[in-house]
Structure 1
Amino acid sequence: MSSWEFHSLHRRSEINVSEQNPVASYLDTRYPWFAKKLRPACMQHDGYLKAFLKVIPPMSEDCLYLNIFYPNRTHEDPTIRYPVVIHIHGGSYVCGSNHLYPGHVLASMGVVFVSISYRLGPFDLFHQVIMMSGSDLSCWAVTDPNRVRSRYYAIELGRALGCSSVLGDRVAASQAAMRGEQWKPSGAADVPEGQFGNGSAKPRLAIPFTARIDASALLRCLRHKSTAEEIANNSLLTPLDGAPNFVWSPVVDGTSGFLPRVPLEERKQGRFDALPLLAGVTHDEGSQVLLSNLARWEERRFRIKDFTDAVVRRTIGNFLNSEKVFRFQTTAEELYTRYTWWPNMANNSARWENMVALISDYVINTPLDTVLRFHASSNPKTYFYEFAYLSPNDTLRTPERGVYHGAEQPFLFGFPFLDVEFWQRYFGGTDLPRLANRTYFYPHDTNVSEWVMQADPTPQPIKNVTWPVFKRPWDGYLFISLNSTPKFHFRPGQMAFWRERFFRLAEPLSPSPPIYYFPLFDAQLATVVLGLLLSVVISLVVVVIVLLNRRPRPEQFRHSVRLAPPGAAPGSAFQTAFEDAFTTRSIMSPLSSQYVTQSDPYTPTTTRNGSINGLQERGSNCQLSLGGVPSIRRVHPPPPPPPAHNRRVCRQRDSRGATELEDYSLESLPMFCQAVDI
């Protein structure tokens, strides 16, 4: 087995320029790379590291570096190309460090191992490039009401640090309303025997979250007025009710950002690199999530012997409420039916294992299975494993945890091959991490570690077992335990239910209560103003219509003006008849149904109810009102009869032959006739 070398690549920002050696310009830095020791961990709350390290390593915002472990063989081909493994530590985006994952054993086996540090929690949101991309805490995103989680937590962090850009009274009032009695998880005193509790999706919709913030001022406060330690100590916020448990997490930026769409949509559109993929899960991925949720829902820690059927029903109900499910009762009954050990209803161990499987399938197994299916359709080198081995020397081993999330990590990095002397040399002292206290000298520990490190993919069978490829229709994978065996179709019924059925059945709501980054009063004011403007416009339209309808209309305007036939000259018979129609008129009196005939247009007109003296212009008439006060009204006479020379002849063929009808005027021609000039 070859030796190894460790290099930590890091860019220092404080160093004497005169001491620097020339560096290549393509490195895009004025300073060389240093690779001598482990650099500080990224700023975070120290609660997580205390669980694994007796001595907390130094922490700093200046933490972006790589740890590179590579083989150092005395005799080797200088042109040899080693495979590279890149490791990104976990920690829910708020904690973790690559100090916990040394790559010495992998490097000694001919692998270049690279571990990455990245900013955690809110510290990952302050970079200028991120701010300008429209992501997270940029001014545009903070004021966008459709972006819920990260902005809510930014507001809460600013309020905890006393930033004046957040009106904390409104935030506090909204949270007090949101976390009232209706949000209290269903406990033993609230849920009758055999029931799941009450759904909280409908009342959740009625509670708004309001806060007015100045995005730029909030950023300035978080970046300059608060120390890194203050931000780190206040960054462990309570997750928003109805939102995922990841407080500080990547968000969708839109088409101009780093994440234009959610990863599932990106994969559906084929927007991913079809690289060879090796992925896997542990047998009890959701055990720690279930334990933490039970402690919050039931307000006490549970052991398997206490996990009765009533607790199972309350757990299902609280789980559905945490996922803001609208169809509560139907979905609860479906989950209870699928995840109940029906052969023995009194078996608490089987009941616990099934409930852990429910959380595991929903949180990790189904999403990873979906990713594998997309990759397998594009690249045949896709492999999957289920890790089901737990060392007797594991200090975190409990019946409730089982093969917990991350239990395969020590075997992946070859910890069973490392001794106490290595850990002392690695950390430079006697205060060793708790991982080093797990003396992995159990014979099967090295066996399993060899599987995890070497069985990818097996060009030759290892220990008489070949790792099958994950591809349709077989979906092969490796079940890693004391006796590792290839298997096919990882939990197909459960994967299909969560992928194809659950969301249509449950109808989960969007993260609620809805968050508005400006008070509702602004929206209400805008609505009132627009409503008033619309009312004024409608009123004006109604007034115009009424005025148009009230205009005086000539009641006796019944005649039709005939156009002169083509070529008619002035003084023709048509023009003469047209003028005669307006010089001799029969005028109806408004006080009677009698017609008054007037031959001289300038002679005063007298009716039986009164008289007026005056001249009447051509084309108008003098009319008396009921009170004897004269009023002028233009009355048009009925049309005169058509002149004889403007008649038509209608020729109609009937059963007796052609018949000539000469008494029809132009207006009264029958539709079945053809008019001709005489």
Structure 2
Amino acid sequence: MKFRLAAFWLFLLTVGGNHKLLSHVPPMGVAAEKQPLHKGNELENAMKLRETPKQSRVIGDITTTIQPDSDPGRSIGHQTVRRAKAPPPSLELHFRESLNKLLAGDETNHVDQTNATGNTTVAALATDEGRGDHEPTTTHHPERRHVVPDKLQYTQEIQVKQGRLMGITRRFQVTSGLRQVDQFLGLPYAEAPTGNRRFMPPGAPLPWQGLKIARHLPPVCPQKLPDLSPLGSENMSRARHKHLSRLLPYLRTESEDCLYLNLYVPHEEPQSTPKQYAVLVYLHGESFEWNSGNAYDGSVLSSYGEVIVVTVNYRLGVLGFLRPSIDAHNIANYALLDQIAALHWIKENIEAFGGDNSRVTLMGHSTGAACVNYLMVSPVASGLFHRAILMSGSAMSDWAASNQSLQLTMQIAHALECPLNEHVEAEDDDVLLDCLRHRRYQDILHIPTALTQFSTSLGPIVDGHVIPNQPYKVMGHYTEHFSRYDLLFGITESESYHTLAALALEEGLRENERDNLLRFYMQSRFDVRPDLALAATLKKYQDMYNNPIKATNLEHRDVVLDILSDARVVGPLLQTGMFHADVNRRNYMYVFGHNSATGPFAHLPHSIMGEELAFIFGAPLAAAGPFPSGNYTVQEKLLSEAVMAYWTNFVKTG
């Protein structure tokens, strides 16, 4: 079977004018055909991308062998006890001082929004007090563990700022050709956000006594899981249901004490020559209200690409995104602050694992990509990472922020019988906080927060501190932070496939159903007459019909999926890429167009959001979290190797 990289469609978006793809990768054939793109018209730019013929997007042939650079000096040495270098005072104080300045209004934001002093303090960020000898008290089910040999092989002892630890070494089958990987699971990067630390910025991690054995996945943060009951399953395709059924076992054990990260490090013997590895930090997607870094085993990616992979758990939903205040100037975005705290821990400690803290790449998928984009423009995250990968999401998407924060705060306060109404003075916020901190988190999570189908009730908000201003303003006009990062970004062919219910996906939509759905979306987003917007948009997509007068229900469905994909993901992401290309020429784009013949969406003619993750994490080569590990073809294994080579070469060199 002839299998070309047309299935992948990896190509450069030459908006930055930089034709150097990811270094150390052999030349891959024909370059992409350029399409003229224009700022300010996200939907039109997305359509231009769709109109590019598939043939012009091909780069090379998948049969070409793609390997990471084979420098014989790749090894990295381990001493009997490896220690993190003491950070310089500026690094030690960077995260704490920058956040304190923002909260105090002492640091000037280069944006047209006035900073105000918030009431929340961050004293805990400056403390070095420890968490104590702590192992999560949680039951670990076999299906939640990473695959390890029957007889555990422990790593060498590592010394980080908080104490001594050891991990375990994962061995792969000899036939896989993969080197061993050291796993350090459940490392605390911040103080537990419990009790009076709920709805507070993350505190410094506490030291532990003795030797910590980091071999179990940590608990996940409290969350609302998707409904997989027969009734809930009507809202998703059977393939989506199957994927979530594999994912949910990783999310069963939760605790508010959840600020942990997992490290995957290429294994080296003690006598090896020391070398520092580039670092790839992954922020999970799916939702601002559920999921976990635990589900994404970075072992294969770390082994094949020879980088350190880090996955992070951070607060979600109400606990991560609620602004517990009626004062619009008070700090919020605790989930983003958790992510910043994890990056701060990595900068302080990654050298002990053989990592290079001057080569840290932050990668996110869907909602995780939006978080990465926000951190690219946040002064609080400055200096903590150097490159970014945005997959199927950006801060420009209409779902990437909540614009109902005050309404949601009042709704939750009333449901929990906390003293709050819209006439309460801002100084009474402490009373609200005290009430929220004395409620069980289970009671908080059970409060209905959903608004309408196309709105985000819980997500990042522009608070003037962590997110200084609207993303389009910061990226388009105030580029001081945004311009510092190299950027790789991209999409799949159908980004909104999971928007429709199972019946609509299987049987299609009638014309009136198509129009009603699109009209509702446009009414929720645009301050124009939805009928006019609908007519103009449908006219742009007429060429998708074989015969517009006799269009089928499946064609109506496909038009809806393409319009929603372009409007909600593709267009905003292209706009983000063009903003970035104006200030940094190290700017690359991909389109993942492979649909596995043995995967859950094999019956579809195009790739679906999230399908690329199995190939990025190396599932065709060896088991990797919730992704199916069998039935991949030889060509798909080569495809996975190609993808991992591209991604990790970007991590290493930009």
**TM-score, length basis structure 2:** 0.51
Tell me how far 1:445 sits from its aligned partner: 2.5
- The verdict on how the C-alpha distance between 1:154 and 1:306 changes in structure 2, with shifts beyond 3 A counting, is same
Q: Which residue of 2 aligns with 1:118?
A: 314
Counterpart of 2:443 (choices 230, 250, 253) is 230
- Matching residue of 2:219: 40
**Aligned CA distance change for structure 1 residues 4 and 137 (closer, same or farther; 3 Å):** closer
Unpaired runs of 5+ residues, structure 1, are 15-26, 139-146, 168-209, 296-300, 424-432, 460-468, 470-678
* Distance across 2 between alignment mates of 1:375 and 1:446: 33
State the match for 1:221 in structure 2: 435
Asked if the contact 1:339/1:355 (under 8 Å) is kept, the reply is: no
CA deviations over 1:420-474 (Å, ceiling 9, x no partner): xxx7xxxxxxxxx7x3545243333312211221125989xxxxxxxxx9xxxxx
Report the equivalent of 1:395.
Answer: 600
Contact in 2 for aligned 1:304/1:352 (Cα 8 Å):
no
Aligned to 1:344: 547
Aligned residue among 642, 646, 649 for 1:451: 642
Give 1:308-323 correspondences, 5 Å limit. Answer: 308-323=510-525
Tell me how far 1:211 sits from its aligned partner.
8.0
Q: Which residue pairs with 1:298 in the alignment?
A: none
Contact 1:69 1:103 in 2 (8 A): yes
CA distance in 2, matches of 1:127, 1:270: 27
Specify the alignment match of 2:255 in structure 1.
Answer: 60
After superposition, where does 1:583-598 map in structure 2 within 5 Å? Answer: none
Task: Indicate conservation of the 8 Å contact 1:136/1:150, yes or no.
Answer: no
In the TM superposition, residue 246 of structure 1 has moved relative to its aligned partner by 1.9
| Amino acid across the alignment from 1:134 | N
Q: Give the % identical residues.
A: 23
The match for 1:88 among 283, 294, 308 is: 283
2:298 pairs with one of 79, 90, 103: 103
Q: Which has the higher contact order (CA 8 A, sep 6+)?
A: 2
Mapping of 1:515-534 within 5 angstroms? Answer: none
* 2:632 corresponds to which of 427, 438, 441: 441
Partner of 1:3: 180
- Give 1:176's aligned residue: none
* 1:416 and 2:620 aligned: yes
Q: How does 1:352-501 map to 2 (within 5 A)?
A: 352-395=557-600, 399=604, 403-419=607-623, 435-437=626-628, 439-456=630-647
Asked if the contact 2:331/2:463 (under 8 Å) is kept, the reply is yes
- SS of 2:290's equivalent in the other structure is coil
1:412 deviates by: 0.7
Deviation string for 1:303-339 (max 9, x for gaps)?
4544233332222222222225322332121011012
In the superposition, relative to structure 1, how do residues 270 and 399 fare at CA in structure 2: closer, same or farther (>3 Å)? same
Structure 2 segments unaligned to the other structure (5+ residues): 1-177, 193-203, 228-243, 335-401
Decide whether aligned partners of structure 1 residues 303 and 457 sit closer, same or farther in structure 2, where only a CA change above 3 A counts.
Answer: closer
The AA in structure 2 aligned to 1:84 is V
> How far apart, CA to CA, are the structure 2 residues paired with 1:28 and 1:42?
17
Distance (whole Å) between structure 1 residues aligned to residue 582 and residue 301 of structure 2: 30
Distance 2:539 2:323 in 1: 48
SS class of match (1:151): helix
* 1:83 aligned counterpart, secondary structure: strand
Cα offsets for 1:121-178 (capped at 9, x unmatched): 111257999999613499xxxxxxxx951221222223333x14256xxxxxxxxxxx
2:414 to 159, 163, 169: 159
Q: Deviations over 1:508-553 (max 9, x none)?
A: xxxxxxxxxxxxxxxxxxxxxxxxxxxxxxxxxxxxxxxxxxxxxx
Q: Aligned partner of 1:2: which letter?
A: R
The answer on whether the counterparts of 1:11 and 1:31 sit within 8 Å (CA) in structure 2 is no
The SS at the match of 1:359 is helix
Q: Normalised by the size of structure 1, how large is the TM-score?
A: 0.49
Q: Work out the CA distance in 1 between the residues paired with 2:570 and 2:302.
A: 30
Structure-1 separation of matches of 2:494 and 2:280: 25
Question: Aligned partners of 1:129, 1:353: CA distance in 2, in Å?
Answer: 43
**Larger Rg belongs to:** 1
1:150 aligns with 2:405: yes
Q: Secondary structure at the match of 2:638?
A: helix
Whole-Å separation in 1 of the counterparts to 2:456 and 2:479: 26
User: What amino acid is aligned across from residue 68 of structure 1 in structure 2?
Assistant: L
The question of whether the paired residues in 2 share the 8 Å contact of 1:278 and 1:382 is answered with: yes
Q: 1:134 to 1:444 in 2, by over 3 A?
A: same
Letter in 1 for 2:518: I
Q: What is the Cα deviation at residue 378 of structure 1?
A: 2.7
Q: 2:479 matched to 1:270?
A: yes
Change (3 A) 1:363 1:76: farther
Task: Tell me, yes or no, if the aligned pair for 2:262 and 2:294 is still in contact at 8 Å.
Answer: no
